[in-house]
Amino acid sequence: MHYSIGSLKNFYTEQELATFITNGLKNPETESVAAKLKVHLLRHWFNDLKSPQDDVTAFHGYEHLRSDYLGYWKKVGYGNTVAPSDQMRAIVSVEKFEANLFTVVTTNNIKYGTLLQSFANFVAHVNSEIRVETLDLFALLFARFGQRHVADILTSGDSTLIDRTITRAQNSQIQFWIRKKTLLDDVIKSIKLDNENEFTYSRLKLFLMYISVYNDTFKSNTVMPYSVLEKYYHPLILASLLYELPKSSELEKLVKQVEIDLEDFFERTDLPPETMFGLLPSRCYEKKEFDQITRLWLESGTKFHKDHPSTTFEPIRILNTVHDDGALIDMILMAAKDNDLKHVAEVLKRDLWSKWTNDWKHKHKSPDVGTSNNVKSMVKDYRTWLNTIRSSMRGNYRLEENVKKEFERGIILDEALRDGVLFQNIVMKIEELNKNHIGEPLGVYAILETLFDVGSVFRLAYPIKVEGRSPHFEAVIEQLQVDQARFWFRTPSNPAKFLDQFDLDLDSKSPAALVRFKAFVQHSLEYNTEIKAATSTLEILRARYDNNALDAFLREASGIDSPNWEWKNSTCLFRS
């Protein structure tokens, strides 16, 4: 049976044990047992952080063992060389242990955990030869480097750098703080959790372990981890730090507490999303990945827009103030792999597509956002999304086979617009897409210009007149015509080019011919006046249409016989 000094102290004082050992060493029959107990006692003192420099009273009654302990302490704790056992020499080179165990503390050998791992390996090997009173890594570090560095070393390196030796040392550190009734703020500073650049999983885990023991020990004065950390960090900063750590059940409760406070922060501020984004600490938005702060910001922006309907919320355009589309694509695809962020990824992906569509520049070429595999994948999905939208716009509306084929190619013929049903289906589909979307809505003209050819969009902006069309759809048509004019001036091509695409019918009896003809003439006149003097409107028309047919159309449409047809604007073309 093996007795540890700790267990023997339940029956004897240290002074009595020291006396037994001293006397036992003098008796040949008990010398061997006494020698083992002496080593155990020296190691017990070492683990208890007793220093040979302590005053004499600390060794009262066994001063004769003090010199032995001084030798042991120098050898194990603060000697100039390591004196490993013969077995140790056979397994690991002396140079490796000497280089690591007796080096000075530097930023790098703490930061990367090399110092901790070297000492942990040393202690683990020493203890493999010991049955009782094993050496405590905490005591070894305490003796070698002093109280100031131990907590820093024990929480250094990779968060996976955990084994039984290190865990035991961390528990010893906690008990040391408890015995000393160390202030919580001092513990935070010892672990360096007051510095966001040192905020690591291993440091936070030790702090949470300490809080658990602290609350069990001082039940009348329990504390929550967040109540301590919030003194050092705004919830936005703390949340961003926590989201960077590996997920674990140990952190889950703390994260929930921070998120509750964070939600309250967003609720209290009631600021526009672009203003709120500007107030976020840089670490919350400069890192190239989304987290739960992004989710809370999206929810906050959505609520603000709902409470203030006259405002807009365009997440991607706000994020573009920091990241370009290429970076955002990488971030969106990364978030899509995280179950907690899939919804964020879906919202932002859709908003990115809305932006691309509304910018009116990606119909015939890929968005200019790079050529990475992620970009190619996103653009491919965007194209698929557009094709799906176009297919769904027809709904159950039946079209003649040739008209249907043209529609699938992105061409809408007048035959499809005669009763106004397809026009309504198209508009309602766009409104449906916008209804539940968080972010930038699709512009009606923008999505039409993306899905259909120029002539089709022109026919939709100036559709065949249908009796009984609701005021809502009439308003949509009016806005389409405004957007059509803006598009013409946004893309200042010669009106003759547009005329080739419009396929204008000169049949005055055609339901939409007059209004479309008037729209073209108005644009041509404004182009020559406002943008660039070019071929006159009449010359453009005569170059495309037979003169007799054109004159006949103009006479019938206007009721005026004017061989010169000089126009200042299009209002003089038609009967009132």
Q: How confident is the model at residue 450 (pLDDT cuts 50, 70, 90)?
A: very high
pLDDT digits (tens, 9 = 90+) for 339-373: 989 999 999 999 999 999 998 654 555 566 777 89
Spatial separation of the C-alpha atoms in residues 144 and 364, rounded to whole Å: 70
Q: When comparing pLDDT for 349 and 243, which is higher? A: 349
Assigned domain for 173 exists? no
Assigned domain for 510 exists? yes
DSSP-based helix, strand, coil % in the chain, nearest 5: 65, 0, 35
- Average model confidence (pLDDT) for the chain? 82
CB 293 within 8 A of CB 328: no
Q: How confident is the model at residue 565 (pLDDT cuts 50, 70, 90)?
A: low
Assigned domain for 478 exists? no
Spatial separation of the C-alpha atoms in residues 390 and 409, rounded to whole Å: 10
Assigned domain for 413 exists? no
pLDDT digits (tens, 9 = 90+) for 172-203: 999 999 999 999 999 999 999 999 999 999 99
Assigned domain for 464 exists? no
Burial 29-67 (b: 16+ CB within 10 A, else e): eeeeebebbbbbbbbbbbbebbbbeeeeeebeebeebbe
Assigned domain for 307 exists? no
Residues in CB range of 433: below 8 A, 6 or more apart: 389, 442
Total structural domains within the chain: 1
* Structure-token pair, residue 504: 């204008």
pLDDT of residue 162: 59
Rounded to 5°, the CA angle 536-465-414 comes to 75
DSSP one-letter code for 416: G
pLDDT digits (tens, 9 = 90+) for 402-437: 999 999 999 999 889 989 999 999 999 999 999 988
Spatial separation of the C-alpha atoms in residues 297 and 265, rounded to whole Å: 11
CB 43 within 8 A of CB 7: no
Assigned domain for 389 exists? no
Is the pLDDT at 460 greater than 70, yes or no? yes
Assigned domain for 557 exists? yes
CB 388 within 8 A of CB 356: no
Is the pLDDT at 100 greater than 90, yes or no? no
pLDDT of residue 226: 92
Structural domain range at position 513: 492-576
Q: Percent of the chain scored above 70 by pLDDT? A: 84
Neighbours of 549 (CB within 10 A): 11
pLDDT of residue 193: 94
